[in-house]
Each structure stands twice: as C-alpha cells, then as structure tokens.
Amino acid sequence: RCQNETTNLPVLFHIHGGGFTSGSGDYFDPLFFMDECIVYVSINYRLGALGFITTQDGVLPGNLGLKDALLALKWTNQHIENFRGDKNSITITGISAGGISVSHFLASPAAKGLFQRVIAQSGSSLTPFIQKDPKKNAIKLGELVGCTNEDSVALKSCLESKTIKELISNQDKLKTWVIDLERLVPVVEPEDAIEPFQTEDPYLRIKRGEGSRVPLITGVTKDEGILLNAYVTLNTKPALEELNSKWYEIAPIIYLYDHLNMTDEERNGISDKIKNFYLGGKPVGPETSQGFIDSESDRNFNFGSWEEASLHSKYAPVYHYSLNFKGNYSNVFQFLGLREVAVSHGHDTQFFYKTPDAPLPEPGSDRLRFSENVIKLWTSFIKTGVPTDVYPNVHTWENFNPQHPSTLILDLPAENAKDYKLERMKFWSNLNLRKLEFPGV
C-alpha cells in the first residue's frame, strides 16, 4: 500500500507510559498505524529510581529518564532518513506518563527543534506531577536500602552498591498514602545543572510561550480517575475509612497541594471547597463515588490538559478531545478485576495499539470502527499538523479557544462540544493554586 511513498515518510515517535516506574516500548504494538504510510519509532528509558532519583546538586543528576528519551529523539533526527523517515515531520506522542513526557518536551528548551507536532494523551506536564522535594526522596530511598549518610557523594556511592532489585522493591515505599503520584517523576533541575532537561516549571514556560510553538493534540478519557478511585473504594476499605476520618491531612496529598506555602486554615479551606463541590459535603463512599471519580479525574488529568490547551493555544493550534467511547473491553478488567466497562485512565490504549492484555477488535464491531476512526484522525494530524480526516458526521475539529473552548467528543458518533466540563475546570482555576505556587506570576 505504501510502495509509492518510499522516502520522507512522517514519523511517529512514541514514549511509553507506566507512571514513570514501569512499562516498555515493545508492550505497544503499532499494528493499527501500519497501513498509514508512516515510520514508527518506539523507545525505552530509565524508570523509577534509576530514572528520576536526584540529589539536585549534580552528584545524582535529575530527569535521566527524560534525557534518555531526548537522546533517542536526537538519534531519530540524525538517522531516520535511513529508515525512509522525514526528520522535518516528527510527531512525538504518548499516553499517561508518555503524555506527560511529551508535554515536558513541548516546554523544554533542550528539545526545541527536534519535533514538529505533539499528541499528549491523558497526561500533561501542567498537572503538578513534579517532585517537590527531590533530595528528601533520594535520602528516604537511601534509608530504605540501608544508605544512611545524607552527603550526596556518599549516598550515591552507597546506592550504586545496591542491587537493582533492592532499589526497585523499595521505591514504592516513598509514597505517603495509597494515592500518591508525585514521588518518582520529573523534576525542575537547578539552574547550574550540566546539560539540563529543564530548569523551570513547564507551566511558566508554556504560559510565556517559550516552549515549542507547534500544533498540539491534548485530551483525556471520560472517567480518568476511576482507577484511582477504585483502589480506595473497592480494594482498600481501611484506606477509605482513613480518607474520610483524616480528610484534612489526606486531601492535600491526593489533590497535589500539600507542598504549597499556606496556613492550615487556608489548606483546610481548599479541602472543604473540594468536598463541597464534588461530594456535596458528604464522605467518600458509594453515594458520592462518581463525584470522587470526577474530582480525581479533574485534578490529576482533566485540568492539566485543559490548562495546557488554554495557554498553548495563544501560540499554536491546539485540538482538545475527550474520549468517551466504551466498547466491550476495559482495562479495569485486568487491573481491578471488574466486569463492567469503564472509560478509565488507559482505556484509550486499546484503540491505538495492540497490547498483550487487550483482545483485538472483532471484524465489523463498533470497537473496530471506532479504532479505525481515531487512527485516521491521528494520522491526518501526524502527516499535516491538522486533524482533517474527521468522522463522517463531524467535518472539522475546531481549534481550542480558551474564551469559548471546544472539545471533540470521541465516540460513535463524535461531536464538537462547547464549554465541555467548563464549570469543573473553572473550579480548579478559581482555587488560585498557581498563585500560591508561583507568587507574582
């Protein structure tokens, strides 16, 4: 099918997800893209403690995982012509931690000029999954494996004497609660770091338009937070009881404002606002389960994507989506043992990649038809920077405009929705957490 297109093919450069602690490139088989006349590049990078522990002083440099991906992208630019790819037509893409990664690339000065388009699925660098006290995390990991000297050189030497198994088996203990997503993740490196990936928070660079001004697709699944919510409500009854009895202690952790400089009264006030807005002031439980799912979805995924779309759209075209299609398979079958389909975090993977865990869509099924639709849509963006090959009933995917935001609802059929979940996005915006994080900005 692609015999006449033998050179200068568009390139799709994929960074895999897995929470920055797991996963591999070969888990994602690009079978569905292989009829689209593109060159697909898949990579691996250091994960967990090996990729993201840092002393923030040059002894244990930060962001090694992102720097691995950056090196692979540079290699792709230098050599992709030997694989019939066009180095001037590279789209970087990822889901979950992969989406967060490509969003970091969008903001990073180190990655400028290495790609022409970005597709960030269910992940944004503007969600504050950034280590707030990296040195503390490094010291704590050291203590967990018997390295008690806090001096950076001594700590590095001791950590290097440990086995990979010792480091990996202890890294999960850095969590401060069941839901804690910001321990082994990217960091903002010191200004004097050698060959840094980033020395400033991505929010600031994207807000000022200092990132790569390239077209962006960014979006989420309908109920991103259900995996997080299910861990609490379905799997760990003691954690649910603890969440409700210690709301003022735990809410700042799971909603990512425990690090901000404010009084206890101010912090408790934010916790009250979240409970009142999403839960009607009631405890988390069966009656308020959907509200809790929404709150986790919004803080951890939806608002970051929406905020990034709002800021980046001032400098380049942005296409925002919500994937709402259910189908007959869900990753909650595998991860949580549930039998009801949920459009959860990671649900979209099955429509873009063949994986060992998800069955292939059956011929003639809605699941196959939906997958073919979104692959065509993504491919048109990969080739041109404009997602023109849209569903039969939707002729254009409107650019995101923060004054009157448009979201493409990916479903059967699809539709352009105005002000989608806008009230919920404004709730987070009006909490003014950015002003607490970056005073004077």
Residues 6+ apart with CB under 8 A from 390: 377, 396, 397, 408, 414
- Give me the chain's average pLDDT, please: 93
Could you give the 3-state DSSP secondary structure of residue 120?
strand
Give, rounded to a whole angstrom, the gap between the first and last alpha carbons of the chain.
52
Please classify residue 78 by burial: count the beta carbons closer than 10 Å to its beta carbon, then call 0-12 exposed, 13-18 middle and 19+ buried.
Answer: exposed
CA pair distance 24, 98, nearest whole angstrom? 11
Q: Is residue 316 part of a domain?
A: yes
Would you state the pLDDT for residue 393? 72
CA pair distance 177, 236, nearest whole angstrom? 12
pLDDT in tens, 170-194: 998 888 777 666 678 999 999 999 9
Query: Could you tell me the residue range of the domain that residue 83 belongs to?
Result: 9-231+300-427
H helices present in 115-151, as ranges: 134-144
**Long-range contacts formed by 331-335: CB under 8 A, 24+ apart:** 331/357, 331/358, 332/226, 332/227, 332/230, 335/227
The amino acid at residue 356 is: P
Q: Is residue 350 part of a domain?
A: yes
> Is a pLDDT exceeding 80 seen at residue 426?
yes
pLDDT in tens, 274-308: 999 999 999 998 899 899 999 999 999 999 999 99
Helix (H) or strand (E) holding 409: strand 406-410
The percent of residues above 70 in pLDDT, for the chain, comes to: 94
Task: Record the tokens describing residue 265, joined without a space.
Answer: 């009264």
Task: Record the tokens describing residue 425, joined without a space.
Answer: 């996005």
DSSP secondary-structure letter at 354?
Answer: B
Match 């991103």 to its residue by tokens.
Answer: 224
Helix (H) or strand (E) holding 130: none
> Is a pLDDT exceeding 70 seen at residue 339?
no
> Is a pLDDT exceeding 80 seen at residue 116?
yes
- CATH code of residue 223: 3.40.50.1820
Q: Is residue 52 part of a domain?
A: yes
pLDDT in tens, 92-111: 999 999 999 999 999 999 99
Given strand 216-221, what is the order of strands in its sheet?
39-42, 9-14, 85-95, 117-121, 216-221, 318-323, 406-410, 415-418
Q: Is residue 241 part of a domain?
A: no
pLDDT in tens, 361-404: 999 999 999 999 999 999 999 999 999 876 767 778 999 999 88
Helix (H) or strand (E) holding 118: strand 117-121
Position 238 confidence tier, pLDDT thresholds 50, 70, 90 = confident
Among 9, 13, 56, 63, which residue's Cα sits nearest to residue 37?
9
Mean of the pLDDT values across residues 311-317?
A: 98
Among 363, 419, 369, 420, which residue's Cα sits nearest to residue 392?
369
Q: Which of 71-85, 116-130, 318-332 has the lowest mean pLDDT?
A: 318-332
Position 271 confidence tier, pLDDT thresholds 50, 70, 90 = very high
The answer to whether 305 and 124 have CB atoms below 8 angstroms apart is yes
CA pair distance 296, 298, nearest whole angstrom? 5
Residues 6+ apart with CB under 8 A from 207: 311, 441
Count the domains in the chain. 1
Q: Is residue 398 part of a domain?
A: yes
Would you state the pLDDT for residue 231? 65
Catalogue the active-site residues: 96, 224, 345
Mean of the pLDDT values across residues 99-126?
A: 98
pLDDT in tens, 134-183: 999 999 999 999 999 999 999 999 999 999 999 999 998 888 777 666 67
Match 């086995």 to its residue by tokens.
Answer: 163
CA pair distance 185, 66, nearest whole angstrom? 10
Q: What angle do CA 176, 203, 112 make, to 5 degrees?
A: 115
Would you state the pLDDT for residue 392? 67
CA pair distance 294, 300, nearest whole angstrom? 10
The amino acid at residue 95 is: I
pLDDT in tens, 193-231: 999 999 999 999 999 999 999 999 999 999 998 877 666
| pTM for this predicted structure | 0.96
CA pair distance 434, 441, nearest whole angstrom? 8
Q: What angle do CA 18, 329, 29 make, to 5 degrees?
A: 50
In DSSP notation, 189-231 reads: PPTT-SS-S-SS-HHHHHHTT-S----EEEEEETTTTHHHHHI
Q: Is residue 251 part of a domain?
A: no
Pairing mode of beta strands 406-410, 415-418? antiparallel
Mean of the pLDDT values across residues 258-266?
A: 94
Any bridge partners for residue 85, and if so which?
9
Peptide bond into 413 cis (omega under 30): yes
Q: Is residue 275 part of a domain?
A: no
The amino acid at residue 250 is: I
CA pair distance 160, 382, nearest whole angstrom? 41
CA pair distance 334, 307, nearest whole angstrom? 31
**Long-range contacts formed by 354-361: CB under 8 A, 24+ apart:** 354/28, 354/29, 354/30, 354/31, 354/32, 355/27, 355/28, 355/29, 356/27, 357/331, 358/329, 358/331, 359/329, 361/327
Q: Is residue 322 part of a domain?
A: yes
CA pair distance 53, 62, nearest whole angstrom? 7
The dihedrals phi and psi of 221, each to the nearest 5 degrees, come to -95, 165
